[in-house]
Amino acid sequence: MSYTIEYSNQFIRSELGFTPCWLCGDNNVTEYHWVGGKRVERCTRDWCVFCNMLAASEDEIMDKLKSFCGGPYQEHWKRGGKYLDDAAILRWGKNGCGNAVPIEEVLYANHISSVRCYLSVWTKDLSNTTQLAGSVSTTKELDDWILAVRQYVSEHPEDHIYPVIDFPRDGFVRARPEDKEKSGDDLVILKHGKDYVTAIEKRDGKVSGISYCRDPKQAKVMTRSEALQIASGCFRNLRVVSAAIKDKPYNVVIRFGAGSDVAGNYFVSSSSRGFKHTWDARYAKHFPDEAAAKRVLTRFASYAPEIVILSSDTEKV
């Protein structure tokens, strides 16, 4: 069975409206891709504008999504290994519009100066051409291109026209709106995946190396302005996090009370293939507080999990 897989998305906000872009492809069409010096086969994927909705209003986007809903078919497309049903695609549109950002912020997050925009045009005789190709780096340039697209579409009513905003297919970083109340003098730390930046090396005034650690208590504190300057450099996928998390105790773990080979062990991590546990609390996942740990309890109720608060010399349940 053929179905669409979504790999990423980015809603762009401009003066003319919202433009929902998504990286997607069919599950039964493959391409070859170089990874770690090896040529591997994977499902194909390309950027396109969702339903050709260039600079649409939020109501228009939601109306389009609602037109897909209401029937027995509840597998609209796949994302993260799961099908999206009616409720999920409506959240997709609502959240996308709510988190939309200007094109400048998308380029900043991905360390690129511009993005290529063009039209893929198919005529009656099934010939394909590229039209209105150009580079866009500002909101004004994007809106100017959208206006040119609308003019082109009105002049070619018989053609099938597909607008493309061609972001990087691999390593794309989705940009999210910044809180306007945040100040450049706020104290923050930098995070990469599950690790925190503990030290920054500089050479000739430029960052030459970064050290990481899983323990947030050891993270290096800096101002938001300093952090953003480092995050916009050559080290990708660094996230700015409030330094307030260093003040949390991180002395809470989960211990299982039942289960073969599990009872008495501590929770480490979980994935789609199961979960990891350890007999030593030192190697367990340390949650920042009890509220964070409680989210795990309902997921593993059959193993009788309990919250354990660690102190320097004893455990408290």
Residues 6+ apart with CB under 8 A from 99: 11, 176, 177
Cβ pair 12, 21 in contact under 8 A: yes
115-122 β-sheet, strand order: 128-136, 115-122, 160-166
Percentage of residues in the chain with pLDDT exceeding 90? 52
Tell me: do 223 and 101 sit in the same domain.
Answer: no
Closest CA to 106 of 47, 181, 161, 41: 47
Q: What is the pLDDT of residues 266-288, one digit of tens each?
A: 999 887 778 899 999 988 988 88
Same domain, 88 and 18: yes
**Domain-embedded: residue 284:** yes
- The mean pLDDT value for 74-81 works out to 90
Instruction: Based on the fold, state whether residues 223 and 262 are members of the same structural domain.
Output: no
**Would 308 be classed as within a structural domain?**
yes
Write down the pLDDT at residue 317. 46
Residue 312, in any domain of the structure: yes
Regarding whether 113 and 86 lie in a shared domain, the answer is yes
Residues 158 and 233 in one domain: no
Stretch 92-116: mean pLDDT, rounded?
90
> Is there a single domain that holds both residue 72 and residue 113?
yes
176 assigned to some structural domain: no
**Does 51 lie in the same domain as 132?**
yes
Q: What is the mean pLDDT of residues 287-292?
A: 87
Q: Are residues 233 and 295 in the same domain?
A: no
- Rounded Cα distance between 317 and 18, Å, is 50
Backbone dihedral angles phi then psi of residue 50, each to the nearest 5 degrees: -55, 120
pLDDT in tens, 1-51: 789 999 999 999 999 999 999 999 999 999 988 877 788 889 999 999 999
pLDDT digits over 118-147, tens only?
999 999 888 999 999 999 989 999 999 999
Residue 174: inside a domain, yes or no? no
In angstroms, rounded to a whole number, what is the distance separating the alpha carbons of residues 14 and 134? 18
For the chain, give the percent of residues with pLDDT over 70: 94
pLDDT band at 314 (very low <50, low <70, confident <90, very high): very low
Quote the CA–CA distance of 31 and 13 in Å, as a whole number.
32
- 156 with 204, same domain: the answer is no
- Per-residue model confidence (pLDDT) at position 236: 64
Q: 194 and 152, same structural domain?
A: no
Of 230, 247, 264, the position where a domain reaches its end is: 247
Domain of 195, in residue numbers: 187-247
Q: Does residue 217 lie in a domain region?
A: yes
Please report whether residue 46 resides in a domain: yes
- Please tell me whether residues 13 and 132 are part of one structural domain: yes
Same structural domain, 25 and 60 = yes
Q: How many domains does the chain have?
A: 3
